[in-house]
């Protein structure tokens, strides 16, 4: 699941969801935007619900909202003290399945992808997208497991953001993230960020990509609690 957007008074809002996930899944992935404004106090609200409800390993990446107050390290520290593994170019293993993850970044897709040409600010934007892809590659390189899962906030493909306004596609993900996913023959990819996107798609080599933003899950599966279970 993704885009929890915990605020200063959110405690209890997803406690029932977390409890059900804990009873049905072997691991919980939180694909970014753990908080609303990137505040440690918001992360504490989330952590209180996780501690009271979840009994399985939790793996997370940060999202753009977690950077809003320029203190992502504080958000990360709070959730890590609750035994959440936060990935940012690193990797971990649960029950023989490897996980690598980064936040990711924008830049667009395919032939419309932004390139490092022109103003310094454009080049800086593209550099961040490239750096995120390189960090993902570093995490995947360290994994020795047959099955590999990638955890992102931004999308690596265009298909799972369809439904959003085309004007913001370039800010929802980047094809640069897709390249290491294909090369390392990843088993599956999970991301959030695109609140109005599509549930799933695939990379150019057929690797499944799942958009697990809470709002997407609520829209497409309104009769169910907003989480997605995938058997690997």
- So what's the architecture of 15-220 in CATH? 4-Layer Sandwich (3.60)
Cα 116 from chain centroid (whole Å): 25
| Strands 58-61 vs 91-94: parallel, antiparallel or unpaired | unpaired
pLDDT tens, residue by residue, 64-91: 999 999 999 999 999 999 999 999 999 9
What's residue 103's pLDDT? 98
Q: Count CB atoms within 10 A of the CB of residue 73.
A: 10
pLDDT tens, residue by residue, 97-151: 999 999 999 999 998 899 999 999 999 999 999 999 999 999 999 999 999 999 9
pLDDT tens, residue by residue, 177-227: 999 999 999 999 999 999 999 999 999 999 999 999 999 999 999 999 999
CB 188 within 8 A of CB 157: no
Query: pTM for the whole thing?
Result: 0.96
What's residue 112's pLDDT? 86
pLDDT tens, residue by residue, 11-20: 999 999 999 9
Domain regions of the chain by residue span: 15-220
Sheet strands (E) in the chain: 28-31, 58-61, 84-86, 91-94, 97-101, 147-151, 188-191, 200-202, 208-211
């Amino acid at each position: 699941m993704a885009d929890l957007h915990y605020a200063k008074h959110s405690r209890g809002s997803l406690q029932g969801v977390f409890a059900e996930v804990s009873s049905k899944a072997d691991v919980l992935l939180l694909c970014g935007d753990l908080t609303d404004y990137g505040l440690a106090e918001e992360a504490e609200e989330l952590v209180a619900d996780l501690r009271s409800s979840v009994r399985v390993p939790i793996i997370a990446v940060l999202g753009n909202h977690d950077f809003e107050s320029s203190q992502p390290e504080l958000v990360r520290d709070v959730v890590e003290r609750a035994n959440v593994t936060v990935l940012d170019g690193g990797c971990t293993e649960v029950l023989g399945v490897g996980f690598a993850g980064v936040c990711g970044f924008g830049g667009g897709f395919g032939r419309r992808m932004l390139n490092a040409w022109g103003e310094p600010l454009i080049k800086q934007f593209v550099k961040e997208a490239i750096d995120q892809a390189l960090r993902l590659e570093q995490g995947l390189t360290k994994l020795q497991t047959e099955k590999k899962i990638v955890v992102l906030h931004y999308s690596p493909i265009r298909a799972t953001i369809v439904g959003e306004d085309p004007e913001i596609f370039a800010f929802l993900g980047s094809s640069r993230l897709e390249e290491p996913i294909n090369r390392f023959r990843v088993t599956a990819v999970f991301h959030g960020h695109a609140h109005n996107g599509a549930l799933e798609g695939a990379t150019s080599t057929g690797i499944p990509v799942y958009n697990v933003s809470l709002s997407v899950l609520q829209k497409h599966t309104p009769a169910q609690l907003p989480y997605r279970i995938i058997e690997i």
